[in-house]
Amino acid sequence: MKAPAVRLSSGRKLPLIALGTAGIPYHSQQIQTSISLALKIGYRHFDTAKIYGSEPAIGKALNEAFDEGIVKREEVFVTSKLWCSDHHDPGAALKRTLHNLKLEYLDLYLVHWPVRFKEGVCYAVPKEDDFERLDMEQTWHAMEKCVELGLCHSIGISNFSSKKIEDLLSHASIPPAVNQVELHPLWRQHKLREFCAERKIHLSAYSPLGGPGSPWGSKAVIKNPTIVSIAHKHQRTPAQIALRWALESGVSVVAKSFNEERMQENWGVSDWVLDAEDHCKINDLSQMKFMRGDFLVNNTTSPYKTIEELWDGEI
């Protein structure tokens, strides 16, 4: 099956089903094997970030596939992200990412969080004195420069609220093509979906299964009785219902699996549909957010003193 895709405001096409590669911590060979397997299944979009440590293994697997003629570079879409300690020089950070991936360009480069750390802070959970003031105008200008230099085709953001996007749009020459955020049947992001759709910013769902098995996630989505009953009705799995619901909500999905059966399962969500009743039932589920970002909030050095400030009330 060909990967379904959406055209971004940048003019580029983004494959709607991506393979996530975050997790703690995977052996490089395991990532490489999973990427090769994913390519065979049909995946053409790979999501990584400097902080995941998966860039080199993805690069090895992709370059092997290019050399063996399995796919061409222009047939795959690679997303990576600017880590919070690299806002002082996004161009240099992107060049390091490209070096890790052994690629000449990225398809999509995202600002990982609307937060800036001191240079060299290469861990996910910052200490209190690791924060610096974020000048998003300066960061975005440097991201735009990356497009001009041909280092990436599209630029975007991740974990940005409607308010933060509005601020960004007030000075951006190139608008963000994508906002990657947590989104699943229990965290539906209705307001952000409408806001982004009106501004032609494509919304991409991370943790679309709720991250079962990951340290920040939960099994609440795939164990939810409503999701389970919809799955029985369609003779699908709960994970497939979550992914199908996101796709039908106009959102692309970044689901992580390094297990062949589950990679196949997550890939198999393009040739069947949910009905209006399923959507109504999902829209009635109580909401819960798993990636709350508490680690980015403190009373002293973080620009965000509360969780509400980090998400501008969208929590």
Ligand X SMILES: NC(=O)c1ccc[n+]([C@@H]2O[C@H](COP(=O)([O-])OP(=O)(O)OC[C@H]3O[C@@H](n4cnc5c(N)ncnc54)[C@H](OP(=O)(O)O)[C@@H]3O)[C@@H](O)[C@H]2O)c1
x/- mask, ligand X, residues 194-233, rule CB under 6 A, reads: ------------xxxxxxxxx--x----x-----------
Check if the beta carbon of residue 251 is closer than 8 Å to that of residue 192. Answer: no
x/- mask, ligand X, residues 106-125, rule CB under 6 A, reads: ------x-------------
* Shortest Å distance, C-beta 50 to ligand X: 12
- Tell me how far CA of residue 169 lies from CA of 55, 114, 161, 173, 296, in angstroms: 29, 14, 12, 8, 23
Backbone dihedral region for residue 38 (phi beyond 0: left; psi -120 to 50: alpha; all else: beta): alpha
- From the candidates 26, 43, 52, 109, give the one annotated as an active-site residue: 52
| Residue 112 in marked binding region | yes
* Shortest Å distance, C-beta 191 to ligand X: 19
Q: Which residue is nearest to ligand X (CB)?
A: 20
Question: How far is 158 from 302, CA to CA, in rounded Å?
Answer: 18
Q: Which of 192, 214, 218 is nearest to 289 (CA)?
A: 218
Local structure of 282: helix, strand or coil: helix
Question: How far is 136 from 208, CA to CA, in rounded Å?
Answer: 27
* Shortest Å distance, C-beta 201 to ligand X: 15
Q: Which of 266, 278, 304, 311 binds ligand X (CB under 6 A)?
A: 266
R_g over Cα of the chain: 19
Touching ligand X, residues 229-258 (CB under 6 A): 237, 239, 254-258
Closer CB to ligand X, residue 277 or residue 287? Answer: 287
Size of the site for ligand X (CB under 6 A): 31
Q: Where are the beta strands (DSSP E) in 145-241?
A: 152-158, 178-182, 202-206
* Shortest Å distance, C-beta 262 to ligand X: 4
**Catalytic: 43?**
no
| 311 near ligand X (CB under 6 A) | no
Q: 73: number of CA atoms within 13 Å, CB side?
A: 11
Check if the beta carbon of residue 247 is closer than 8 Å to that of residue 279. Answer: no
What one-letter code names the amino acid at 234?
Answer: H
| 154 near ligand X (CB under 6 A) | no
β-strands 152-158, 45-47 pairing = unpaired
Residue set of the binding site = 112
* Residues making up the binding site for substrate: 112
Catalytic residue IDs: 52
- Residues within the interface to ligand X (CB under 6 A): 20-22, 47, 112, 158-159, 180, 206-214, 217, 222, 237, 239, 254-259, 262, 265-266, 291
